[in-house]
Structure 1
Amino acid sequence: MYTFTKEERLCNKKLIDELFRSGSSFLCYPFKASWLVVNQPQKFPAQIVFSVSKKRFKRAVVRNVIKRRMREAYRLNKQTLLYDSLLGADKQIVLSIGYIGKEVGDYSLIEKKMLKLLTQLNTEVLK
């Protein structure tokens, strides 16, 4: 239940290109979420990629810390806030969450904002 496996990570270049070309997006500071409903059968209802700007955060260590915090907040909250409703609506999505904040947020801030983002994503996808 609280896992984040390889199959949940978005690695397919064609899907990533399609996501940024024709997907929908919204801001939920310090995140920018882009999503796209897909018709291809997947093992999980959502595939996701996390990104942090190299331009804004020069050091890889800092970028990795931010991505690690984002992944952990997503992993702990995806089931209740996203997967249950996607499975109920029989939809599958690909998702990109980019960190656009200017400073490194601590985990409690990132988790609080991730909860808000997943709730907003849930309402956007199910409209």
Structure 2
Amino acid sequence: MDQTFPKKEHLKRKKLLDKLFSEGQKINSYPLLLFYVPTALPEEQVPIQAGVSVAKRNHKKAVTRNRLKRLMREVYRKNKTQFQTNDKTFAFMFIYTGKEIASYTELEKAMLKLIAKFNAKTAATDQEAGF
């Protein structure tokens, strides 16, 4: 069970980010918001490339934003194997929408809800497509 988050799994490409926010779908589980889009990734070995973001509007201090991003990456790293991609590749962006500083356990609860909603949504679209 791979619980690492290497560079090749980081979402960095501008074209992918633009596609993610223009064509992507979103799932909300306060204080996290997940934007995702099924896409062909340049790194074929990874099923998901993910990024994290915290709004400067809600958290003025860089120290706070960096702490929240670090916690979000850690929660994703620990639970990423639960995402059911069904041999598709996805681009993910996790956005922190809360105004207060969440703890690790709060973020983990929100992440598990996001995972359940994502798996249900992708299973429903796979059944519609006839897989």
Q: What's the TM-score, normalizing by structure 1?
A: 0.91
Secondary structure at 1:26 match in 2: strand
Equivalent pair of 2:49/2:92 in contact (CA under 8 Å)? yes
2:66 aligned residue: 64
Q: Which structure has the larger Rg over C-alpha atoms?
A: 2
Q: CA deviation at 1:39?
A: 2.9
1:104 aligned residue: 101
Query: Matched residues in 2 for 1:38 and 1:61: separation?
Result: 33
Query: Matched residues in 2 for 1:5 and 1:107: separation?
Result: 21
Query: Matched residues in 2 for 1:93 and 1:126: separation?
Result: 14
1:115 aligned residue: 112
Moved over 6 A (4+): none
Sequence identity (%): 39
**RMSD value over aligned CA atoms?**
1.1
Q: CA deviation at 1:26?
A: 2.0
1:31 aligned residue: 32
Q: Structure 2 unaligned runs (5+)?
A: 125-131
Q: CA deviation at 1:121?
A: 1.4
1:10 aligned residue: 11
Q: How many residues align?
A: 122
Query: Matched residues in 2 for 1:27 and 1:113: separation?
Result: 9
2:129 aligned residue: none
1:57-86 deviation digits (Å, cap 9, x = unpaired):
00000001101111111101111x11xx22
Query: Matched residues in 2 for 1:59 and 1:28: separation?
Result: 24
Amino acid at match of 1:13: K
1:75 aligned residue: 77
Q: CA deviation at 1:125?
A: 2.4
Residue 54 (str. 1) matches residue 56 (str. 2): yes
Q: CA deviation at 1:122?
A: 1.7
1:15-68 deviation digits (Å, cap 9, x = unpaired):
000010011112111011110001345221111110000011000000011011
